[in-house]
Structure 1
Amino acid sequence: MKIGLRTIKTAIAAVLSMLVASTLDLLYAPAAGIIAILSVGNTKRSSLYIGLGRLASLAIATIISFLCFTILGYNAWAFGVYLLLFIPLSAKWHLTDGIVVNSVLVTHYMLEQSYSFFLLKNELLLMGIGVGFALLFNLYMPNIEKQLKEDQQKIEQNFRELLTDLASELNQPYSGKLSKRCEDLLLFIREGQSRAQMHQENQWQAENMYYEEYFSMRRTQVRLLLDMIKLLKDIRVEEILVEDLRILLEYTAETFDEENDGQAILKRINLVYDVYRSKKLPENREEFENRAQLFQFLQSFKSFIEIKAEFAQTINK
């Protein structure tokens, strides 16, 4: 059994919330611990937004329940009407995180049959203590930037290997193995993008979306690589027609790097286009169709490089 950091923080925040609430002689002190449990989020920002949302939600819940209990009495029917009003309003104002915890606090009004200043203050303090300790313990989040950089290195190594193998299988019998490797890489990139989003959510300063945009760019490139791999099985041309393209793929694999802006590769692609234009025209329909597949492969590869070039321009602005 593994006990994670979030579990430890949640347990300590809940215990301290209960102890502080008890020390202040608050009614229903254990509720502060429950609020702390529900308020410890995955990131700093999520905890802050959850806490603020629940405080706002408490004010709304108090007003609605006051009207319902005053008009219908402190009973289950009035509580049901309160829920019929509170839940839709919470959904409309994007405060659904506060539905459960504030409905529990509302039952305190029902049990005490009172909306005295003491009880209103009691509920506000229960919420404040629980949310406060959750925010306090979520101020510490492990820095995962090192892992994100390691993810980048693994992704780029995978691309280098895929491009090298793509060059080897060009104009050869189709094996189908590259597609599975691309799908695995796509899954790894998605996981990295989730980590990048979490990393961003743990930053208080101005947003730097570099990692999220990087993983998004690589995801798009993998999809294009999958399109290129699908074209492999239909490319059957004279070997002399693929020599320049094979060299281009190998060069790209050798120079594939986060810092490579793709401009040198785009120039080489244009040279390959010029070579193809200088070739004699196809002599029959089959040769024409094969060359069309080869041309489409080159077009997809150009788009593959242009995506990185556009990303590099955006980042360097």
Structure 2
Amino acid sequence: MKIGSRTIKTALGTPISISIAQVLGLTNFISAGILTILCIQPSRKRSVLSAWHRFLACVVAALFSVLFFELIGYHPIVIGAMLICFIPVTVWLKVTPGIATSSVIILNLYSAQHLSLSFLTEQFVIIIIGIGTALLVNLYMPSLEHQLKQKQDELEYYFQIILNEIALYIRDKNENWNGKELGICEDILQDAMDLVLLDKENHLLRNRHPYHDYFKMRSKQLELLEKMLPLVSRLPNRDAISIKIADFFEKLGDAVHPGNTAVLYLDELEDLRQTFDQEPLPKTQEEFETRANLFRLLHEIEDYLLVKKRFKKSDISDKKRIKKDRNND
């Protein structure tokens, strides 16, 4: 069983806050530990927001406690009546995450059976210790770089399988592939975007994330691959153009990587389209439908490559392209 960083930080922060409250000789020092437990969050941004919500809710709770307990009395029914008024106010102030935290303070104040200025001051010190300790502990957030890179590698591995399986199907009409890699890619993308969001929340001053655009790009490419499959299934078997398209899919599979070499394959796709245009006109309805599917497939492949081309600056310079063109002449 893996112990997460949030568990470790809770285990460290709770005794620290309780110890500080004990050293200061505060009443209800255990409450400082409870506040710390409630304020430990999975990211720095959520931790800061949580601290603000809980602090404001505690302040409002203290005001309500003074009004209800001192004016009406110390009775369990009064607690219920106060909560009926208090909770809607927290909703209005948009600090509902602080309801549980403020309830700790409410019960502390109720148990005192008398509210003096010194006791109220103690409660605010407990709030500051509990929430402050959680904030300090939450300053450390483990890097998610390794996990994001792992998701990237997994995604590219399955993209290669999908493209190679498409090539195999076009060549041999191999129907053994069940397409499970498409679903696996969707799961990886969802997990990856959750990690990206968490990592962004850990860097409060970062507006953009290097992996965000990458996984968005792959998500769009996956949608296009899913649109290609019905078209691929309608291609004729062992047709000359079909074989060339199968070879092209195989090249795309070998070229799946974080870099951007899409421009090379767009040039090759244009050559493939010209070859396609030079083919004799279809004579039967079946040939016409096949030609239409081929045309649509080439269009989807072009969109697939354009998505990658727009993702980042090309890794292929104009000089390399000219040299490649000369070698092909």
**TM-score normalised per structure 1:** 0.89
- In the alignment, which residue of structure 2 is the partner of 1:298? 298
- In the alignment, which residue of structure 1 is the partner of 2:324? none
CA-to-aligned-CA distance 1:243-281 (integer Å, 9 cap, x gap): 332232223223322111522222322333333233222
Quote the RMSD (CA, aligned, Å).
2.4
- In the alignment, which residue of structure 2 is the partner of 1:223? 223
From the superposition, tell whether residues 2 and 138 of structure 1 become closer, same or farther in structure 2 (CA, over 3 Å). same
Return the alpha-carbon distance in structure 2 between the equivalents of residues 290 and 71 of structure 1. 84
- In the alignment, which residue of structure 2 is the partner of 1:147? 147
SS of the residue corresponding to residue 170 of structure 1 reads helix
Return the alpha-carbon distance in structure 1 between the equivalents of residues 169 and 313 of structure 2. 32
CA-to-aligned-CA distance 1:182-224 (integer Å, 9 cap, x gap): 2112212222222222222222433332212212221222222
Return the alpha-carbon distance in structure 2 between the equivalents of residues 5 and 96 of structure 1. 25
- In the alignment, which residue of structure 2 is the partner of 1:158? 158
CA-to-aligned-CA distance 1:91-145 (integer Å, 9 cap, x gap): 3433221111101211222222444322222221111111122122222222221
User: 1:42 Cα shift?
Assistant: 1.0
Contact 2:170 2:237 in 1 (8 A): no
Segments ≥4 residues shifted beyond 4 Å: none
Please list, as runs of the form range in 1=range in 2, the aligned pairs for 1:125-274 lying within 5 A after superposition: 125-170=125-170, 172-173=172-173, 175=175, 177=177, 179-236=179-236, 239-274=239-274
Return the alpha-carbon distance in structure 2 between the equivalents of residues 95 and 27 of structure 1. 26
- In the alignment, which residue of structure 1 is the partner of 2:319? none
Return the alpha-carbon distance in structure 2 between the equivalents of residues 287 and 171 of structure 1. 18
Return the alpha-carbon distance in structure 1 between the equivalents of residues 288 and 71 of structure 2. 83
SS of the residue corresponding to residue 249 of structure 1 reads helix
| Identity %, equivalent residues | 28
Unaligned runs of 5+ in 2: 315-329
SS of the residue corresponding to residue 312 of structure 2 reads helix
- In the alignment, which residue of structure 2 is the partner of 1:111? 111
- Number of aligned positions between the proteins: 314
From the superposition, tell whether residues 234 and 83 of structure 1 become closer, same or farther in structure 2 (CA, over 3 Å). farther
Unaligned runs of 5+ in 1: none
- In the alignment, which residue of structure 2 is the partner of 1:84? 84
User: 1:10 Cα shift?
Assistant: 0.6
2:97 counterpart of 1:97? yes
- In the alignment, which residue of structure 1 is the partner of 2:317? none
Letter in 2 for 1:59: V
User: 1:174 Cα shift?
Assistant: 5.2
Contact 2:200 2:206 in 1 (8 A): no
User: 1:299 Cα shift?
Assistant: 2.1
